[in-house]
Amino acid sequence: MLRIGINGLGRIGRCLFRVLFENNIPNVELVAVNGSSSLELHRHLLRNDSVHGRFGCNIGIKEGALLEVGGKTVKFFKEKQPQDIPWEEVGVNVVLECTGKFNNRESSGLHLGGTVKKVVVSAPVADADIQVIFGVNEGAISSEHDVISVGSCTTNCAAHVVKAMDEAFGIEGGFITTVHAYTNDQNHVDGSHKDLRRARACGLSMIPTTTGASKALEVLFPKLSGKLSASSIRVPTPNVSVVDFAFVSSSKATVTSINEALCKAATARPDVLMASDEQLVSSDFNHTTYSAVFDLMETYANDGGVSRVLAWYDNEWAFATRMVDVSRELLRFL
């Protein structure tokens, strides 16, 4: 049995909470959460979500710092440091680290010990035991991997695009642009920020910024090292993002052959990929679970050997769903 504890009840942590309860996943139980605010506030934000709607389950509060959801209880802790969270009180064996603060092997590894055997981090971790993108390399997880990074929401989308194109045509070089919904790392009014552009009001401008997706992809696909670059443009929408991948292929690619390759990839992994030939917009993909939805209407190829692919992703809900999928892979080691 996977006994999960969530550290951090921000956007991803709350999505994880709901994914776990709404899907009734066999052999997986959420038994504890650790948050930085009051139990009452966390309950309120779990019940009411401006992006994903109202939670379908009743959430009550019971004596002993317990959340009651659908007849089950979840222990609530309020600790600042991983090593201070008493996960063993409720037998947590896998921690989903979602604070965004403990993004290296040493700090996220502080959860380990007692009943906790594995930690899955919702961010890129350069020195993690392994980076896992579900649908690409989850089969590489071994018993020796205790701190596992699931990369970023963008990496989870882009990896499938890159994989499909490289397998079909070979990639000589490529550039990834993610047009990304704003996040809580930005300011809603102009204010201080280490990134001068993210210091500006996120609801009023398109904001160019950085992404670590290309580095993460080079870890997944070593033969493409030095061949991929990436950047991000944050836009004034609350959720759903899109990867725009322009690349030079080794063999000739046409719109038809590219779309055939994308459809083949989606057919092979219908749990994480989808191909769409409808003329849809970002809001149509809100609350979807696919790592990437290939937009077949937006495929281009020219005689100069440059091609372009577009893929949508819900950067909150789909990413949380992938975290759960990766966590389920750990069942065989517990």
Tell me the CB-side half-sphere exposure of residue 168, using CA atoms within 13 A.
23
Query: If DSSP codes are grouped into helix, strand and coil, which group holds residue 104?
Result: coil
Residue 14 annotated as binding site: no
Residue 155 annotated as binding site: no
Residue 153 annotated as binding site: yes
Residue 254 annotated as binding site: no
Residue 36 annotated as binding site: no
Tokens standing for residue 52: 């994903």
Q: Which of 305, 275, 300, 280 is nearest to 290 (CA)?
A: 275
What is d(CA 249, CA 252) in angstroms, rounded to the nearest whole number?
7
Residue 18 annotated as binding site: no
Count the helices and strands in the chain (H runs, E runs).
Answer: 7, 17
Residue 250 annotated as binding site: no
Residue 7 annotated as binding site: no
Residue 191 annotated as binding site: no
Tokens standing for residue 329: 């892979």
Residue 321 annotated as binding site: no
Tokens standing for residue 6: 């969530």
| Active-site annotation, residues | 153
Dihedral sign of CA atoms 4, 238, 126, 131 in order:
positive
Residue 38 annotated as binding site: no
With a CB cutoff of 8 Å and minimum separation 6, the contacts of 24 are none
Report the 10 Å Cβ neighbour count for 205: 13
Residues annotated within a binding site for D-glyceraldehyde 3-phosphate: 152-154, 183, 211-212, 234
Residues annotated within a binding site: 11-12, 122, 152-154, 183, 211-212, 234, 315
Residues annotated within a binding site for NAD(+): 11-12, 122, 315
